[in-house]
Amino acid sequence: MIRQLITAVSLGFLSTSGALAADHEISFEVSSLANNSDSYNVFSGGRQGMTALGVRGGWAFHDRLALIGGFQHHRRGSEVYLQESEASMVAAYFATTYSVGIKADIEPVRWLQLYTTAQASLYQGLMKWDNEPDSRTNLGQLQSSGISGGGVFAGGVEFRIPKGVKLPVGFGFYTEMGYGVIARHSYNNPKDPNAPDMTWEDGQSIGTMQPGGFTIRSGIGVRF
């Protein structure tokens, strides 16, 4: 009886370990998050989706659960004309989002996975204005940064080429959709990077931002 119990536990451990190995992942992805903030329109020219490129990694700690984390980087710019003047500036916005959370999945067949995910996010944004964008050392550049937290909830589908005897790793292509939100945050005290002692008065705000709404991500990567 004891020998049978040990054998059953050993077989269960081996089968669970195999499932775990198949669910580790490294993926490259492209994503979009809605941003209807008025201050974002200065940089986007009216386009409200923040498209970003990123990397995601996952570590399976259960046959149906994985810890996932990653980052996405967004950049967008436009030419801004000053009021009552023919002069113009280039306005650019950069955002980097770091995320970590849990993914739960089911696998109806070996080549298909359905999943949901909940992730917490750390968001860093940077606004830049420059009347001579070809020069990094000219005076008159202005930049201001902001930081905030948020989260995303999504459901997705992944199509897989499973790991096999002749294939040491598997491959997956996924698309997920859901809702993402970043808490409202301010961009204060713009500075000139080439004249750090020259700033606007303390506490001066040049705008707030609150990205959030529909989000979609698609990616491809290895599973091992």
What is the mean predicted confidence (pLDDT) over 177-184?
98
The fraction of the chain above a pLDDT of 70, given in percent, is 77
Rounded distance, CA 148 to CA 181, Å?
A: 10
Look at residue 90 in the predicted model and tell me its pLDDT.
Answer: 83
Residue bearing the bigger pLDDT, 161 or 193:
161
Band the pLDDT of 129: cuts 50, 70, 90: confident
What is the mean predicted confidence (pLDDT) over 201-208?
72
**pLDDT (tens digit, 9 = 90+) per residue, 7-45?**
443 333 333 333 444 479 999 999 999 999 999 988 887
Band the pLDDT of 202: cuts 50, 70, 90: low
Rounded distance, CA 12 to CA 2, Å?
A: 15
When divided into structural domains, the chain yields a total of 1
- Report the mean per-residue pLDDT for the chain: 83
What's the farthest any 2 CA atoms get from each other in the chain?
90
Which domain does 127 fall in, by range? Answer: 2-223
pTM over 0.85: no
- Rounded to a whole number of angstroms, the CA Rg of the chain reads 23
What is the mean predicted confidence (pLDDT) over 39-58?
90
**Is the separation of the CB atoms in 35 and 97 below 8 Å?**
no
Complete DSSP assignment for 186-207: EEES-EETTEEEEEPPTT-EEE
Look at residue 70 in the predicted model and tell me its pLDDT.
Answer: 96
CATH number of the domain that 27 lies in?
2.40.160.20
**pLDDT (tens digit, 9 = 90+) per residue, 65-108?**
999 999 999 999 777 666 655 666 788 999 999 999 999 999 99
Look at residue 203 in the predicted model and tell me its pLDDT.
Answer: 55
